[in-house]
Amino acid sequence: MGNIAKLDLTKSRQIFEGAKKVIPGGLMGIRNPKFYVPDEYPMFIEKGYDGHLIDVDGNDYIDLVCGYGPIILGYNEKEINDAVFEQIDKGFCFTLCQESQKILAEKLTQIIPSAENCVFVKNGSDATSLAVRIARAYTEKRKVLRGGYHGFHDWCVQPTAGILEEMRKYTIRFPFGDLDALEKLLKEGDVAAVITSPLCHNLCDDVKMPEEGYLEGIRKLADQYGAVLIFDEIRTGFRMALGGGQEYFGVTPDISCIGKGLANGYALSACVGKKEFMECVYKKDIFISATYFPNSLEMVAALKCIEILERDNVVEKIWEKGKYLTQKFQEVSKNSGLPIHSAGIPVMPFILFDKSEPKHEAMTTKLFTEMIRRKVLLTPDHHWYLAYRHTYKDIEYIANAIAESLEAVKRNL
């Protein structure tokens, strides 16, 4: 491909300038340009198909971010669209619920080991916050021990403006992988819950498998000290296995939080768990209320998504493609001679420069500049995802683009 010029992002920039007048920062959260390479990445998308996005300027990208995880099949899935359109004709936001909620709850209890009861919400932060509320009601204890990032609500987010410190004093972080540190905190008492992902992951870092026996150790400690064990499966649910990381690793928590991958992009998540714990919602009258939690468009999208996942053996095929992509990453990383390595797991891949390298930030910026110019949409600050509709042709293109981009990094040095 040789030297690649900057993309034409004229319309995207124009929209962004207008957005800054009415939206703080122009774009909220991790979609703000500051989290990519400013002035190189598109900011507004026109449409998507399969594993691709087309921006408002007409540039067509292979997208390995997948909406930060919800797109497990592909963009603009016809079968899901058809199911949603059929539901639209009936209506979807009512005073009372529709049967799809009960049918979906039944389905989740069949495929997720910890799921005996289900409560539907909208996003991951809703689900983790509800899980913590249930755990506190069940145990009548206060402290929550967290093993990573579990959403943006006050109880768990990193210190930031607008959050009172006293709101967070009962949430204590423990290092993922360190059972001794976890037990030390449990011994202090008053622990309602231990919440962790089955995988080690942070917002801006690698994804790592737990060491053998670690999840089993957490399970044992939670039981020993009377704490509710919560698995945050927002990322791992439906991707590591249909039943999530708990199925993959064979360790069943008391409560689980699922979301990304559940409805292929529709706003739906759930707090699911063993009946003993979930019944607290009813028996202890835990307050849960939101106008849109019962909306049925998301329910029918999830049911159709799960049907396709099961019918087409999607999870296994994503793993196969992910392993192939990881192999390609390893080859180009080794051939580059640069301090870079393939990271993550096959269904959530990433590549990282060695952070001990003094120029790792400059090399990272150059790499992702070159990749977006080659129309591969990645994020430098978050692991990526693979979707079912990504093709082997897409993977070959990505691998070649990374190889060329790494050569550009070397020239830049």
Q: Please report, rounded to a whole number, the percentage of residues in the chain having pLDDT higher than 70.
A: 98
Beta bridge partners of 351: 342
The model's pLDDT over 183-211, given as tens digits with 9 standing for 90+, comes to 999 999 999 999 999 998 764 556 889 99
pLDDT digits (tens, 9 = 90+) for 265-283: 999 999 999 999 999 998 8
Q: Is the pLDDT of residue 35 over 60?
A: yes
pLDDT tens profile 369-397: 999 999 999 999 889 999 999 999 999 99
Joined together, the tokens standing for residue 398 give 């990505």
* pLDDT value for 215: 98
User: Taking residues 88-100, what's their average pLDDT?
Assistant: 95
Tell me what pLDDT residue 319 has.
Answer: 98
Which pLDDT score is estimated for 164? Answer: 85
pTM score of the predicted model: 0.95
Sorted by sequence, the CB contacts under 8 Å of residue 155 that are 6+ apart come out as 129, 132, 144, 167, 168, 170, 171
DSSP string, 289-303: --TTTT-HHHHHHHH
Residue 367 in tokens: 């790499």
pLDDT in tens, 302-361: 999 999 999 999 999 999 999 999 999 999 999 999 999 888 999 999 999 998 889 999
Angle (nearest 5°) at CA 50 between 45 and 51? 70
Please state the rounded mean pLDDT for residues 58-71. Answer: 97
Computed over every residue of the chain, the mean pLDDT equals 94
Collect all residues with Cβ–Cβ distance below 8 Å to 48 and sequence separation of at least 6. 54, 63, 71, 75, 76
